[in-house]
């Protein structure tokens, strides 16, 4: 944590301009909130395809009117190159989060995922280059490991891809590497592992499992688990992801450029364990909360069986140290959902 603490002090005393794409989304709005809290100026770009205006309002309430004046917002789509150029004007560092997430969504509509995650990615990457921006940090995904059975997942060892979404994320990493070599850009890819936390949307067909389950339990709805519940993931709390983005945005280690890094806790929990964690936490808020039996259904197409990250590369090269275990993250996340979803 020493490196991150040093950077937080640096942020307070040295103001830069950051571009956060997808700033109204789950991860983007948390990055926006952190940066504004720490005296930074932020340009935000979002088309509200998956993000929400109320996330921006929550950030404003959190940081206060004065700090929120350091934020300027552009409503637009990364599939439009001119919009990307406009967003890049005067920017020092890009944190690119805008994308169409979800493996099932990409299987259902690969062209739409490609348009956002490959064409849009190339647009914002090229616009950054053409605007003279050097540092470009972007969201990748653990889906690039495909059918590799190696555990824990090490950055250099990937398998055959299992979904169009995985293809889009690996393509982004390839572009990131090429732009680093060809144009001297300081690109850094972050492979997120099952991120969860405050402001993650529980609604919609492609909602992530944690907010979906919490919302269903609060509303006394049925809980569905894909497969036998023994599928495991490296569930990663949002604060760990924010930390890694900021470290990548300000690192002085030139060896990281053109590389990709796992962003995770370095642990592994099954869906059955996750369901137990959530229920235990909800019982703290409602002593009458009873654990409902989950309904098990077919495995989901495109999903890998187990996922667990080796985070030694991020620790060694970036000074990354996760602050939240899954239990600590669930505790904070459930508290936020109870407050936000119960009116």
Q: How far apart are alpha carbons 197 and 237 in whole angstroms?
A: 6
Strands 232-233 and 269-270: antiparallel
Which pair of tokens denotes residue 337? 């959902």
The yes-or-no answer on residue 165 being catalytic is: yes
Q: What angle do CA 16, 84, 263 make, to 5 degrees?
A: 60
- For residue 124, give the H/E element and its range: helix 120-130
Whether the CB-CB separation of 55 and 25 falls below 8 Å is answered with yes
Q: How far apart are alpha carbons 124 and 88 in whole angstroms?
A: 8
Between the two ends of the chain, the Cα-to-Cα distance in Å is 37
Whether the CA torsion 305, 310, 313, 318 is positive or negative: it is positive
Q: Tokens 């002593």 label which residue?
A: 287
Whether the CB-CB separation of 80 and 45 falls below 8 Å is answered with no
CA distance to 6, 69, 73, 103, 171, per residue, from 244 (Å) = 14, 25, 23, 23, 21
Residue of 165, 192, 237, 320 with catalytic role: 165
Number of residues that make up the chain: 343
Residue 138, strand partner residues: 96, 189
Using omega within 30 degrees of 0 as the cis cutoff, is the peptide bond preceding 60 cis?
A: no
Q: Tokens 């995904």 label which residue?
A: 141
* C-alpha torsion angle, residues 336, 217, 265, 58 (rounded to 10): -20
Q: How far apart are alpha carbons 27 and 22 in whole angstroms?
A: 8
Catalytic positions, please? 165
């Amino acid at each position: 944590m020493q490196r991150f603490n040093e950077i937080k002090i640096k942020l307070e005393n040295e103001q830069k301009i950051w571009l956060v794409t997808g700033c109204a989304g789950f991860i983007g709005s948390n990055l926006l909130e952190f940066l504004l809290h720490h005296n930074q100026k932020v340009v935000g770009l979002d088309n509200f395809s998956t993000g929400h205006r109320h996330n921006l309002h929550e950030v404003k309430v959190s940081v206060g009117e004065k700090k929120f004046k350091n934020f300027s917002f552009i409503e637009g789509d990364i599939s439009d190159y001119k919009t990307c150029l406009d967003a890049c004007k005067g920017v020092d560092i890009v944190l690119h989060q805008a994308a169409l997430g979800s493996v099932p969504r990409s299987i259902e509509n690969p062209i739409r995922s490609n348009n956002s995650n490959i064409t849009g990615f190339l647009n914002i990457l090229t616009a950054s280059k053409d605007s003279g921006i050097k540092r470009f940090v972007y969201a990748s995904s653990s889906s690039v490991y495909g059918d590799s059975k190696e555990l824990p997942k090490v950055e250099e060892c990937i398998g055959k891809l299992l979904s169009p979404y995985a293809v889009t994320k690996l393509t982004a990493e390839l572009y990131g590497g090429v732009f680093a070599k060809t144009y001297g850009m300081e690109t850094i890819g972050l492979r997120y592992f099952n991120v969860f936390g405050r402001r993650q949307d529980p609604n919609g067909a492609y909602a992530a499992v944690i907010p979906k389950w919490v919302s269903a339990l609060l509303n006394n709805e049925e809980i569905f688990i894909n497969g036998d519940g023994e599928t495991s993931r490296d569930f990663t709390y949002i604060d760990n992801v924010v930390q890694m983005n900021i470290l990548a945005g300000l690192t002085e280690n030139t060896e990281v450029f053109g590389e990709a890094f796992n962003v995770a806790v370095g642990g592994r929990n099954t869906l059955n364990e996750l369901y137990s964690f959530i229920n235990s936490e909800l019982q703290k808020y409602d002593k009458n909360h009873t654990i409902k039996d989950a309904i098990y259904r077919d495995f989901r197409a495109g999903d890998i069986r187990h996922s667990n990250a080796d985070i030694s590369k991020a620790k060694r090269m970036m000074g990354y140290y996760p602050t939240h275990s899954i239990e600590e993250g669930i505790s904070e996340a459930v508290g936020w959902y109870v407050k936000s979803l119960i009116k």
